[in-house]
């Protein structure tokens, strides 16, 4: 038989079922099977570590409250689609804020960015006065984790607006964890502006960030088909102006 020392070397890996009665999808961690928050104390008596794989729909802050002793959270995305959340819980946790690690696996390699929720809360945000030469969209893992202010502390970029989640810079930041675009034009919604902005363009990839219209509504208004090499971001700047930003990937 194994001794007590061997028992305490074990790690528990748990992936609670996300469907309840009648195969109905559930989202609250307490409603999953097994009930991890209720089971956690017993698991930690038998192992110093518990690793839980949770739905990408789970609220990170709420889950941290349900799983005391969490030392790290891993937000995993594949090709810019958030797939899983991994919570690492330790019996001997020291009470410090857990590290949140955002990882995106893409065709051109892996992007990684780490921060703590306290760093995010305390980061001073100075919005960009205007759109620079380059535009950046964080990857899905970062957007899920909410590392919006922290990015500006690590990379030389400025946020367009508190709620827009787009960033800009004068010089290219090649290691920014997300998509990078060279800005070709910025336009408001005056007829002459739009005509010049849309010149020679019959299709484009459209993204909405902090903007009152949906992609479908804007595409109809601009009379653009989907696809091509042009990208249009509809967003709001720090002064409240609604703009369109045209760019190409770089």
What is this structure's pTM?
0.89
pLDDT in tens, 172-187: 999 999 999 999 999 9
Please tell me the distance from the alpha carbon of residue 192 to that of residue 113, in angstroms, as a whole number. Answer: 41
What are the pLDDT tens digits along the chain (250 aa)?
A: 334 444 445 789 999 887 666 667 766 787 788 889 999 999 999 999 999 999 898 999 999 999 999 999 999 999 999 999 999 999 998 888 999 999 999 988 999 999 999 999 999 998 998 999 999 999 999 999 999 999 999 999 999 999 999 999 999 999 999 999 999 999 999 999 999 999 999 999 999 999 999 999 999 999 999 999 999 999 999 999 999 999 999 9
DSSP symbols for 37-86: HHHHHHHHHH-SEEEEEE-TTS-HHHHHHHSTTEEEEEEEEETTEEEEEE
pLDDT in tens, 129-174: 899 999 999 999 999 999 999 999 999 999 999 999 999 999 999 9
């Amino acid at each position: 038989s194994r001794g007590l020392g061997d028992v305490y070397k074990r790690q528990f890996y748990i992936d609670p079922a996300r469907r309840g009665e009648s195969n109905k999808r559930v989202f609250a961690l307490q409603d999953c099977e097994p009930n991890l928050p209720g089971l956690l104390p017993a698991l930690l008596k038998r192992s110093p570590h518990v690793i839980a794989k949770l739905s990408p729909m789970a609220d990170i802050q709420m889950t941290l409250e349900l799983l005391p002793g969490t030392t790290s959270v891993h937000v995993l995305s594949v090709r810019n689609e958030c797939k899983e959340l991994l919570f690492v819980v330790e019996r001997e946790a020291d009470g410090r804020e857990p590290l949140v690690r955002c990882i995106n696996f893409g065709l051109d390699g892996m992007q990684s960015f780490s921060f703590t929720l306290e760093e995010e809360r305390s980061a001073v945000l100075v919005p960009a006065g205007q759109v620079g030469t380059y535009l950046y969209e964080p990857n899905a893992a970062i957007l899920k984790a909410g590392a919006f202010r922290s990015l500006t502390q690590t990379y030389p970029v400025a946020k367009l607006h508190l709620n827009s989640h787009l960033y800009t810079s004068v010089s290219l930041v090649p290691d920014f964890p997300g998509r990078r675009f060279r800005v070709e034009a910025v336009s408001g919604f005056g007829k002459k502006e739009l005509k010049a902005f849309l010149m020679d363009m019959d299709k484009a990839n459209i993204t909405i960030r902090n903007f009152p219209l949906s992609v479908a509504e804007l595409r109809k208004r601009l009379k653009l088909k989907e696809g091509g090499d042009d990208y249009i971001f509809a967003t709001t700047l720090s002064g409240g102006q609604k703009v369109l930003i045209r760019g190409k990937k770089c």
